[in-house]
Structure 1
Amino acid sequence: MSDRVLVLGGTGWVGRRVAAAWLDRGARVTVSGRGGRTAPEGAELVVLDRAEPDAYRTFAGTDWDEIVDVSSVPAHVAHAASALGDRAAHATYISSVSVYADASTPGADEDAGLVEPLGEDDPDDYARAKVAGEQAAVGLGARVAIVRPGLIVGPGDPTDRFGYWPARFAAAGAEPVLVPEAAELRAQVIDVDDLVSFVVASGARGFDGVVDAVGHSHPLADVLTVARETAGHTGEMHAAPTDWLERHGVAFWSGPRSLPLWLPADVPGFAARSGAAYRAAGGGIRPLSETVDRVLADERARGVARSRAAGLERAEELALIDALRPGR
């Protein structure tokens, strides 16, 4: 008999790919969502509000071989664990490397200390919410895997962070592109399909443990070079110092008017975590160039010059390049 799998949040980017990968293995897959988005073809969709007391009534009496939860709302994870946990042979909670309290130590692993979990009356905090979610997820199944991805990248990424660079280089063509001075900076990503393959394979074998699902740590300058060469950019790159960018209102990491992947120098460990446990547990890491190829193809399909959730608008970038030139 095929596996019975429930993906809570299976209509979003990562959850949907997890559901599709389980379907490819021949599993019977049910996904839940709040409505407005479809399920992967072949999966059953159950629309529910996880905040409702009877949210899981549809699943009463159902046994699951695997439950996957991606939520960053601890109360939702706890509710699912209470309602479904005694009926699941195995569960996987997808957390984040953001849970770690110290980002100053390159090579740190899963034994590093975590931030305090989010309390019921505390203001929203993603890292603390994921810690509280991990604690609640212990009850999701008889055996539970906690997977802490780094920056997840790949086709369909709704955050627009990693894709900013190949898209911007492609859109610029022979024109200039603004980059951060990156001599000491690093970047570390995990391809979404490498993450999904691990989540599904480890769920199928009942893996019980905690892993940081991260790719290799690369100098940020090397990542930008791969993105530029893949996109065929021939224009100049204008590197701006950190203090100059900050004075001109450019943000780190993500969001509007940012340079994505660019991190402050005082968090050298954030993009340089050990991935040894992930690899030892069977996690794969495809070459960075392959991920960039996949992302650029997706960006071209979506429009390399589109407005984005992260990065600089082209007019902002050109104004900054003009201001950076000597004599300005």
Structure 2
Amino acid sequence: MRILILGGTRFLGRTTAAEAVSRGHDVTCAARGQAGPTPDGARLVKVDRDAPDGLTPLAGEHFDAVVDVSPISYPWVRRALDAFGTAAHWTFVSSISAYAHPDRLDDVLLPPRQEHADRSVVMKDPDAYGSIKVASENAVLDTAADRALIIRAGLITGPADEHDRFGYWANRLSRGGQVVVPDTDLPMQIIDVGDLATWIIDAAERGTTGVYDGIGPAQPLLDLLGEVAAAVGPSAELVRVPESVLLEHEVGYWSGPRSLPLWLPDTHRNMGNRDAGPAMAAGFSPRPIGEAATRALAHERELGLDRERKAGLPAEVEQEILAKL
């Protein structure tokens, strides 16, 4: 198959391109070419999706399948559909942020918002991010209809993850000792980037279509962390700390400096509790949490276990919390 990856030089896009190349497909990656190299065997065509004519370098080309991992911009998606929307299969990677009520398990979506938004603003505003994903989904479904696969991805982990969230836990638990964890019954789930890429290419080959939550099975966060510890840090002791104490010490939710990654407030408690069953019935096969943790730890070691992190609890803050329990 001739497969166009809109992206292909970082994280999910690059992993998907590598998976397609490994199966013998003719792979073209369309990107600025600034985030990193494409996988060996893939062709890079440099484009600028911010420009109305930014896909001109691909003019006249035809593809059997298109995979779009566009992060935020509705115009990017619309222009790609205008250029290549006749492809036999179209995958758009959306987000569970498309759901309007992250504290509920219904399928109510945000209203579409189609204007271009600055990345720095959108990535800080879950509603703006989710609504642009909805606008993009609607454009894909309007154009590709029964040829489209929409994957509303949850927390994507694995090698080349740039956000340090799941990797924080693999790193910290591998060191052992007392580890501060939130005292919560919060459900949580992840999806390994390699598993998601495999499913995307499987779906292109098989013609799988529909709208799915792309995520592994949900379980209580503390159970998930226990599986991570069993795989990479069996000597670690999980010390449950009440939310009130964590907030007193200015520990943040979900991600960012001075945070406990994957921990969410009750207002978002079902953001990590989507139903993985339909995706698994459609061919998605998630690896065990322990294996995902081992992969994440290997990546952490390549980067350096003591590097400055984008997410996680600094050692001195953790010790301060432990000392006051």
Q: Deviations over 1:194-240 (max 9, x none)?
A: 11111111111222211111111111111121222323353544322
Match of 1:116 in 2: 111
Structure 2 counterparts to residues 34-113 of structure 1, below 5 A? 34-36=32-34, 37-71=36-70, 72-86=72-86, 88-106=87-105, 108=106, 112-113=107-108
Quote the offset at 1:75 in angstroms.
Answer: 1.0
Match of 1:259 in 2: 260
* Aligned equivalents of 2:313, 2:174: Cα separation in 1: 15
Match of 2:2 in 1: 4
* Aligned equivalents of 2:212, 2:272: Cα separation in 1: 16
Match of 2:153 in 1: 149
TM-score, reference length from structure 1: 0.90
Q: Do the aligned residues in 2 keep the contact of 1:84 with 1:140 (CA within 8 Å)?
A: no
The reply on whether 1:128 has 2:131 as its aligned counterpart is: yes
Q: Name stretches of at least 5 consecutive residues in structure 2 with no aligned partner.
A: 123-127
Residue identity (%):
41
Quote the offset at 1:315 in angstroms.
Answer: 2.3
* Aligned equivalents of 1:129, 1:121: Cα separation in 2: 8
User: In 2 relative to 1, CA 235–30 (structure 1 residues): closer, same or farther, beyond 3 Å?
Assistant: closer
Query: After alignment, is 263-272 or 12-21 more displaced?
Result: 263-272
Q: Secondary structure at the match of 1:163?
A: helix
TM-score, reference length from structure 2: 0.90
Query: After alignment, is 119-128 or 154-163 more displaced?
Result: 119-128
User: In 2 relative to 1, CA 236–23 (structure 1 residues): closer, same or farther, beyond 3 Å?
Assistant: closer
Q: Do the aligned residues in 1 keep the contact of 2:158 with 2:193 (CA within 8 Å)?
A: yes
User: In 2 relative to 1, CA 139–54 (structure 1 residues): closer, same or farther, beyond 3 Å?
Assistant: farther
| More helix per residue | 2
Structure 2 counterparts to residues 1-328 of structure 1, below 5 A? 3-36=1-34, 37-71=36-70, 72-86=72-86, 88-106=87-105, 108=106, 112-120=107-115, 124=122, 125-138=128-141, 141=144, 143-171=147-175, 173-174=176-177, 176-182=178-184, 184-232=185-233, 234=235, 236-322=237-323, 324-325=324-325
Q: Name stretches of at least 5 consecutive residues in structure 1 with no aligned partner.
A: none
Quote the offset at 1:139 in angstroms.
Answer: 5.6
Quote the offset at 1:140 in angstroms.
Answer: 6.0
Q: Deviations over 1:271-297 (max 9, x none)?
A: 111112101111112211221122222
Q: Deviations over 1:176-199 (max 9, x none)?
A: 3211112x1121111211111111
Q: Secondary structure at the match of 2:165?
A: coil
User: In 2 relative to 1, CA 254–208 (structure 1 residues): closer, same or farther, beyond 3 Å?
Assistant: same
